[in-house]
A and B are shown apart, each in its own frame.
Chain A
């Protein structure tokens, strides 16, 4: 074969693989509003930066007439590319090839690119669109999943791992995304569950649609399995690219710095917070009045909205924000919000991202359902995560900092580096109403007019304790600041904390209250 002919032959072979499951299968994929595996990768990475590997890998199934079948690339595309100039490793399951089912070689391609990502210390993005295990390959499929899960765990906290659910992801397959850092879902396209509607119906007689059982909205709002929710694949890819700009390549470096920007002036910080501690406001307006360009990239927006987490930049550097949200459930801590915050704190700590905590919460959500759901063990995760974190940790107390919640929200006692408070801060064992009822129980009961006495005692308590000065007098607060100074002081605190180094006792690993 002449060189020219062999080049033409190579092109033909590659074109055949690129056709995936063929025109008919692609048509079906497109009809569902879905892109093909290669289109998806090309939509995420910088133009011209993608290189695909293992195109000619073939499946090894021999049972059930599989030896006669040709499966292009064994149903998965792997490769490397760039996102805004940052290197990444990526794989995308191809649903048009045998339903994207996972056989031995399919899994081996995925684990190959995973090993590569870990070795090169660059982020890994996995696009899931698969019917699940390839039944014809039996236990080899299960082995494949296990090898993936092991690598997810090994890479956890070393390189960022991103999972994108763009089709079905069922049974054991869901555990790879669950082990990764961030899960992206798209309405009407993503479906995740351990047991599908058909099995639930046959075994349990319960009738439920795929969307209602494990659709994108369910995972973004109810289960907390997904971190980012989008209405289209295109929006989802933009979210992934934005996320990549906020996080570092691996755990030994910092996220890329951007040119510093001032916040937009229209957000006047002192106009946002109502003076009455019982009135709500949107804490995200406070975050946006502090961050560069008033930009805030929120994570898990729909799940446990009583706490807000996400990334912003301060003087060009990525910072993680954890903030109580008075707008939802008065900003209380509960099982879900504790889980949400704790995992994010650990993420920031693993990847060298300083944490700014904005506090305004009345305590833990009362209720039998919360107690029985284990709010003790869930709430403990926040204490654990903040205590364990060695990245710069800065707290600003805006209004209410009551009781156990005060301790949990990155207090001095959990080794916050800086604790600032607005003059509106109330740092106390509980709110004036509750405290007065307990401390002055006798006086109130014995008074001629108990209600008038109650109000008088609440006021007395308020005057004496509902302020930042009692805590400041003991050194638990470093400085009481004016609201409009907040950004300036935070920038200074971050600058001072830049080379923070705190030794921790050697251990294999701690035992966080999972």
Chain B
């Protein structure tokens, strides 16, 4: 939706009509949507890795515990979302991670 022509004018399109206007900071910094990838186990909260319960190559069932993540003074049990194989582990014990960090990559197993 963001466009700027040679004169550096700003436009916005609503229902096929192009309006000349200016953007505000919040609009420019808005989050662009990405298709979720369920094979990436991301941290849903920032915290510290207390324990990694799996190894690369291991096949687990949905609901099996894979990581203990400490956040907000609580131990969070991170589980397999479905039956799958551990492809890659991107974290170490004791590591502090931000929100949205790809901790473990998996792939589904039939």
Contacts and interface: CB of A to CB of B under 8 A. Distances in A.
Contact of A363 (B14, B72, B99): B14
Given A278-B20, A329-B21, A206 B15 contact: no
A205 B19 contact: no
A430 B14 CA distance: 9
B25 A278 contact: no
Interface stretch (B26-34, B60-68, B86-94): B26-34
25 contacts: A204-B47, A204-B98, A204-B99, A206-B46, A221-B25, A278-B19, A278-B20, A279-B20, A304-B24, A326-B19, A327-B21, A327-B22, A328-B22, A329-B24, A329-B27, A330-B20, A362-B17, A366-B14, A367-B30, A369-B31, A402-B15, A431-B14, A434-B14, A434-B15, A435-B15
Contact of B12 (A330, A372, A435): A330
B12 A329 contact: yes
Given A206-B46, A369-B30, A372-B33, A306 B14 contact: no
Given A369-B33, A372-B33, A433 B12 contact: no
B14 A362 contact: yes
B18 interface: yes
B31 A431 contact: no
A279 B96 CA distance: 50
B38 interface: no
B17 to A, nearest CB: 4
B8 interface: no
B15 A363 contact: yes
A305 B24 contact: yes
A215 interface: no
A255 B94 CA distance: 61
Q: Which of A203, A222, A279, A326 has the most CB of B within 10 A?
A: A203
B15 A431 contact: yes
Interface of B: 1, 12-27, 30-33, 46-47, 71-72, 96, 98-99
Contacts of A372: 33
Nearest to A370: B30
A362 B15 contact: yes
Given A205-B46, A367-B1, A330 B15 contact: no
Given A362-B14, A430-B15, A431-B16, A336 B1 contact: no
Contact of B98 (A205, A328, A430, A435): A205
Contacts of B71: 203
A206 B71 CA distance: 13
Contacts of A327: 21-22
Contacts of B23: 328-329
Interface of A: 203-206, 221-222, 278-280, 304-306, 326-332, 336, 362-369, 372, 402-403, 430-435, 437
A32 to B, nearest CB: 27
B24 A328 contact: yes
Nearest to A437: B16
A330 B19 contact: yes
A14 to B, nearest CB: 47
Contacts of A363: 14-15
A204 B1 CA distance: 34
B23 to A, nearest CB: 7
A10 B13 CA distance: 70
Contacts of B1: 366-367
A432 B20 CA distance: 16
Given A402-B15, A431-B14, A326 B21 contact: yes
Most buried by A among B12, B14, B19, B20: B14
A222 B14 contact: no
B58 to A, nearest CB: 29
Contacts of A434: 14-17
B78 to A, nearest CB: 17
Contact of B96 (A205, A306, A362): A205
A279 B71 CA distance: 50
Given A204-B98, A222-B26, 4 more contacts: A206-B98, A221-B26, A222-B25, A372-B33
B42 to A, nearest CB: 15
A280 B20 contact: yes
Contacts of A204: 46-47, 98-99
Contacts of B32: 369
B6 to A, nearest CB: 17
Contacts of A403: 15
Contacts of A365: 12, 14
Nearest to B15: A434
Most chain A beta carbons < 10 A, residue from B21, B22, B33 = B21
Contacts of B21: 280, 326-331
B33 A431 contact: no
Most buried by A among B17, B20, B24: B17
Contacts of A326: 19, 21
B52 to A, nearest CB: 19
Given A204-B46, A329-B24, A369-B30, A433 B16 contact: yes
A280 B15 contact: no
